[in-house]
Amino acid sequence: MPASLPLTGRRVLVGISGGIAAYKSAELVRGLRRQGAEVRVVMSAGAQQFITPLTLQALSGHRVCTTLLDPEAEAAMGHIELARWADTLLVAPASANFIARLAHGFADELLAAVCLATDAPVILAPAMNQQMWANPATQDNCELLRQRNIRLLGPAEGEQACGEVGYGRMWEPDQLVDALVSPQERGPLQGRTLVVTAGPTREAIDPVRYLTNRSSGKMGYAVAAAAARAGAKVVLVSGPTILPTPQGVQRIDVESAHQMHQAVLEVVDHCDLFIATAAVADYRPVAAAEQKIKKSDAALTLALEPTKDILAEVAARPEGPFTVGFAAETEDVEAYARAKLERKALDMIAANGVGQVGCGFDADCNALTVIWRDGRVVLPQTDKSSLARQLMDIVIERYHAKN
Ligand SMILES: Cc1cc2nc3c(=O)[nH]c(=O)nc-3n(C[C@H](O)[C@H](O)[C@H](O)COP(=O)(O)O)c2cc1C
């Protein structure tokens, strides 16, 4: 049996949009295949003005896909199949126009539709005139995409096809291939599985009423996105939220604390890190009424029983994952968090005060004090996605120090 190559088993969908650097995509496809990847190519109409689908077909070994609204193409490998097939999408070159359309969620041509429909990581290699790159519209679009977990490789600085000099050159094909091969570029959690819980739970009182809390899931979803960007395979066990699933994340929806417990037990066996951001109900009604409880003038007493402590159970597993808890407190935040870290034998805890204005439950911002046995870092108030990125940096450092 031949030795496996660095990209053996990988399914890379190369998207080509309409820029002069499209001629380099031929070399890119060859390079990816040389490293063992299976490659399929999607070209925009603009791209076909610069290089022919026939060239890319010959180099990839597959028919090149070019049109969205084509019954014949849809019957073969349509946009959803392509989106599901790929484990990585690399758009090279990514034109200013394509970047703008992706940032604004257009799906009126095949390449953009596939990028929207996939849950695989999307990587862009921008290439354009240096003024187009520097334009605030392009810069804002790129920032939006970065926030959504889309990675940008380049552009590089240098001489351009138009004769100008500056940032806008596409990374060379071999640099792009190296980026897909190198563990560092694929992220410090490459090869690791991480389970995140997020959101509130709902504990049924009767068929129409439940007990819940103010958690929106925003912090947990931001953590899941940051972990995926760090290269981990991420499973997000989520209570009810209105949030979209972050790019590259597998999501399991649950409602009650009991369902969250079950779902976590099913996935935690082979995971390397467990981050519990969910606001799991501590108590649930002893029995949910089968029929709607009728209103009356008498006082109503609900009998509650404790739910299972998912975090403590995961932390107590022999050979268990690196475990990070969250502590949302309204007073003595740090003291309670430290006590929880010790009591549940966690590797780390992130404490936040939920009483502060603009912070905590349902807010877009948060501030955290991250505590472990012999260390502590304060992360000042900022938006939850920046905060999640900073938290993941600490988690990754502590995880690698322990393993
Ligand atoms: C000769 C020529 C070269 C071009 N090179 C680039 C380029 O390098 N980058 C870019 O963003 N746009 C470039 N453009 C403009 C794009 O082709 C144009 O915005 C097109 O609509 C892109 O379509 P697409 O993103 O759907 O592929 C170029 C246009 C021409 C005529």
- What one-character-per-residue DSSP string does 248-306 give? TEEEEE--SHHHHHHHHHHHHTT-SEEEE--B--SEEESS--SSPPPP-SS-----EEE
Domain end position, chosen among 186, 221, 240: 186
Q: Backbone phi, then psi, for 171, in 5-degree steps?
A: -55, 145
| Lowest model confidence (mean pLDDT) among 75-79, 365-369, 391-395 | 75-79
Ligand 1 pocket member 46 (CB < 6 A): yes
Tokens of 97: 């126009």
Ligand 1 pocket member 188 (CB < 6 A): no
Question: Which residues span the domain enclosing 116?
Answer: 11-186
CATH assignment of the domain containing 175: 3.40.50.1950
Residue 268 in domain: yes
Q: Backbone phi, then psi, for 383, in 5-degree steps?
A: -70, 155
Average pLDDT value for residue range 34-50? 95
Concerning whether 162 is annotated as a catalytic residue, the answer is yes
Cα separation of 181 and 158, whole Å? 25
**Per-range mean pLDDT, top range of 34-43, 141-150, 227-236:** 34-43
- Mutate which of 41, 95, 109, 152 for ligand 1? The one with the most ligand atoms within 8 Å of its CB, which is 95
Catalytic residue among 162, 271, 359, 365: 162
Ligand 1 pocket member 133 (CB < 6 A): no
What per-residue confidence (pLDDT) applies to 355?
A: 63
Q: Are residues 135 and 118 in the same domain?
A: yes
Q: Are residues 382 and 254 in the same domain?
A: yes
Q: Which residues contact 283 (CB under 8 A, 6 or more apart)?
A: 203, 211, 304, 305, 306, 307
CATH assignment of the domain containing 266: 3.40.50.10300
Average pLDDT value for residue range 231-240? 94
Cα separation of 236 and 47, whole Å? 37
Residue 1 in domain: no
Orientation angle between helical segments 96-103 and 110-117, nearest 10 degrees: 40
- The pTM assigned to this predicted structure is 0.59
What per-residue confidence (pLDDT) applies to 360?
A: 61
Per-residue pLDDT tens over the stretch 117-148: 987 889 999 999 999 999 999 999 999 998 88
Residue 4 in domain: no
Ligand 1 pocket member 17 (CB < 6 A): yes
Q: Are residues 293 and 377 in the same domain?
A: yes
Domain end position, chosen among 138, 156, 186: 186
Q: Are residues 129 and 229 in the same domain?
A: no
Q: Are residues 221 and 268 in the same domain?
A: yes
Average pLDDT value for residue range 73-86? 83
Q: Residue 1 — pLDDT band, cuts 50, 70, 90?
A: very low
Burial of 399 (0-12, 13-18, 19+ CB in 10 A): buried
Residue 147 in domain: yes
273-276 and 193-198: which strand pairing?
parallel
Residue 3 in domain: no
- Residue (of 209, 192, 208, 211) closest to 200 by Cα position: 211
Domain end position, chosen among 156, 186, 216: 186
**Closest ligand 1 atom to the C-alpha of 17?**
27
User: 217 in helix, strand or coil?
Assistant: coil
Count of structural domains, the chain: 2
| Lowest model confidence (mean pLDDT) among 63-72, 199-208, 319-328, 349-358 | 349-358
Name residue 304's amino acid: L
Per-residue pLDDT tens over the stretch 45-57: 999 999 999 999 9
What per-residue confidence (pLDDT) applies to 186?
A: 64
Q: Are residues 68 and 163 in the same domain?
A: yes
CB 288 within 8 A of CB 261: no
Per-residue pLDDT tens over the stretch 346-357: 999 999 877 666
Per-residue pLDDT tens over the stretch 238-287: 999 999 888 778 999 999 999 999 999 999 998 999 999 999 999 999 99
Given a cut of 80, is residue 76 above it in pLDDT?
no
Per-residue pLDDT tens over the stretch 96-124: 999 999 999 999 999 999 999 987 889 99
Residue with tokens 């690399």, as numbered in its chain: 90
Q: Are residues 148 and 264 in the same domain?
A: no
Q: Are residues 290 and 393 in the same domain?
A: yes
